[in-house]
Amino acid sequence: MSSLRPCTFYYQESTMTAKQERQTILVVDDAPENIDVLSGILAADYKIKAAINGEKALKVAAIEPLPDLILLDIMMPDMDGYEVCQRLKASDKTRDIPVIFVTAMGEVENEEKGFALGGVDYITKPVQPSLVKARVKTHIELKQAREELQQQNAILQENIKLRDDVERMTNHDLKGPLNAVLNVPQLMIKTKKLDDEQVGMLKMVEEAGFRMLDIINSSLDLYKIETGRYQLAPVPVDILEIVKQIHGETRELVQTKNLTIQITVNGRGESKGDTFMVRGEKMLCHSMLANLIKNAVEASPNNEVIRISLDDREEGGQVTIHNKGMVPGEIADRFFEKYATSGKEGGTGLGTYTAKLMAETLGGSINYESFKKLGTVINVTLPKVGRPATAERAVPKAASVINDLRVLIVDDYIPMRQTIKAILRQVGIVEIFGASDGSDALQIIDEEPMDLIISDLNMPRVNGFELLRNIRSNPAWQELPFILVTGDASQDTVVLAASTKVSGFIIKPFSADLLIRKVENVLGLRLKDQV
């Protein structure tokens, strides 16, 4: 062992701007000349702290500001590097500081022990400057990425709490009073003690209430449905009553376009006292049909007839909405997909997507046909009263399949691949592969079957969209789940991703929790809740 002598540190003017704070590296070695070497390599880019034994290292590591990374010699007197690492990881204050072991070639066989104690990497002596810089830079960036993910996760948790608070306030402060706005007019009308003008005014109040309800449902119930949190409470619902309410809500636009809406029940014109009962929820049925009927009114040519037919079928109660407009060719194949819209000023592309989700949540089904001469026909089938819902939500796969999943991460930025890999490993996914761009990815999946691809959008050679198109054009890979990751949140990007049949979409920066939830939704399973 060498005797203690002053250490020479090689500080050079940093290329960083004055606003950027340099990270701090703690170098621990009982040989000052080794500290000199490592300091000389790193001092131009990092602040350097030093310690010549384990006890001193533990004290320096706990002083604010904490080191961003520790280079730790293994062979030291009194307390070796393994014990130092173990004690660092046992402290809440220092446990998250990355530790890279610096070791002689003869100690490499102890790598497994070092990783088990919490080390993140090894550097062998004599050190190579380029390797030291690369390893330190990679683990500093990984640490920063983890911290950013933790911050994003904390923000997400705050947002979730805020959303839940808003949801509780909405249910109590808005939906409660809306029950009166929606139900009292009908109760008063049924007394038959009002004149036509009074009945008309009450119907206007009722229509305004349903408009408010649509706004609430679009921001709360739709989110619950998309995330699998919606709890259906089905009861008998009169669809004819709902259709007539929506007819009233669209009255102004119908008159502007000089349209006629014809409603039939089991092949005949509807008359006073008619009902058409299905099994569902009134609010959900209203939101679903309002989207479809309003869409039909907007799409219909002027001076035409929109036909709404309610028919009892063996499979359930069927609602058919027919207008003479034709679905534009560019969205024909993705009519029920999110953000599918064409030529509608201010259109969000959520109407038919929302209707499909709601129909399936109600236990029903939905389909459409569109031809030049016929126009567009949408059929919604809902469960009959007294009959259980025929559609069930997907049951998550058993946890035992998680360890068998094979995931390919495609990103030209290595720290991003490593970060996603670390998140997936925390929830039990162990077979994880990496590729630097779409070209490498195609070669890998050609040789190794995959269960999921998580790909960046912007990459050299073959980017994320090109990779997805290649995969969807191959019959063997057409159903392969594909999550696209990008910092571009523009609607054009989202629409293009949907048209290419992407399975999921994540906007950077994202939290670990968001990534896990997205993987769960795409694969239809429940991962270990450890993030």
Detail the DSSP E strand segments found in 159-314.
Answer: 235-238, 260-265, 268-269, 277-280, 305-313
- Amino acid 398: pLDDT: 39
Is the domain of 276 the same as that of 349? yes
What token pair was written down for 319? 């609602």
- Amino acid 353: pLDDT: 84
Distance CA 433, CA 395 (A): 27
Is the domain of 382 the same as that of 413? no
Name the nearest CA neighbour of 156 among 526, 433, 509, 530.
509
Is the domain of 312 the same as that of 408? no
- Amino acid 93: pLDDT: 93
- Amino acid 107: pLDDT: 57
Please name the residues in contact with 425: beta carbons below 8 A apart, sequence gap of 6 or more: 432
Is the domain of 499 the same as that of 413? yes
In a domain, 138, yes or no: no
In a domain, 80, yes or no: yes
In a domain, 16, yes or no: no
Please name the residues in contact with 11: beta carbons below 8 A apart, sequence gap of 6 or more: 43, 44
The CB-side HSE value for 160 (13 A sphere, CA atoms) comes to 11
Residue 78 C-alpha from the chain's centroid: 51
In a domain, 515, yes or no: yes
Please name the residues in contact with 53: beta carbons below 8 A apart, sequence gap of 6 or more: 28, 30, 76, 77, 78, 79
- Domain-ending residue, one of 340, 375, 393: 393
- Amino acid 442: pLDDT: 92
Is the domain of 53 the same as that of 191? no
Is the domain of 410 the same as that of 360? no
Cis peptide before 328 (omega within 30 of 0): no
What token pair was written down for 171? 């249910």
In a domain, 133, yes or no: no
Number of domains in the chain: 4
- Domain-ending residue, one of 78, 99, 127: 127
Q: What does pTM read for this prediction?
A: 0.41
- Domain housing 174: 146-219
- Amino acid 452: pLDDT: 93
DSSP code string of 166-198: HHHHIIIIIIHHHHHHHHHHHHHHHTT-S-HHH
Burial class (CB in 10 A: 0-12, 13-18, 19+), 300: buried
Please name the residues in contact with 434: beta carbons below 8 A apart, sequence gap of 6 or more: 408, 409, 410, 411, 417, 421
In Å, how far are 301, 302, 364, 375 from 324, measured between CA atoms? 7, 10, 25, 4
Distance CA 182, CA 188 (A): 11
Classify 134 as helix, strand or coil: helix
Is the domain of 458 the same as that of 497? yes
- Amino acid 158: pLDDT: 77
What token pair was written down for 75? 């062979």
- Amino acid 395: pLDDT: 36
**What CATH number is given to the structural domain containing 95?**
3.40.50.2300
Q: What is the mean pLDDT of each run of 10 residues along the chain (531 residues)?
A: 40 42 91 93 93 94 94 92 94 93 70 84 90 92 87 79 63 56 74 86 80 65 70 82 87 90 92 89 85 90 94 91 86 75 54 85 90 88 67 39 82 83 82 91 89 88 89 87 76 68 74 75 67 40
Is the domain of 305 the same as that of 160? no
In a domain, 33, yes or no: yes
- Amino acid 460: pLDDT: 83
- Domain-ending residue, one of 196, 219, 242: 219
Is the domain of 95 the same as that of 197? no
Is the domain of 375 the same as that of 469? no
Is the domain of 411 the same as that of 497? yes
- Amino acid 178: pLDDT: 65
Name the nearest CA neighbour of 266 among 240, 292, 303.
240
In a domain, 15, yes or no: no
Distance CA 427, CA 264 (A): 54
In a domain, 56, yes or no: yes
- Amino acid 191: pLDDT: 79
- Amino acid 297: pLDDT: 92
Are 453 and 408 contacting, i.e. CB atoms less than 8 angstroms apart? Answer: yes
Is the domain of 376 the same as that of 246? yes
Residue 21 C-alpha from the chain's centroid: 33
- Amino acid 87: pLDDT: 95
Place of tokens 């029920």: 336
**What CATH number is given to the structural domain containing 350?**
3.30.565.10
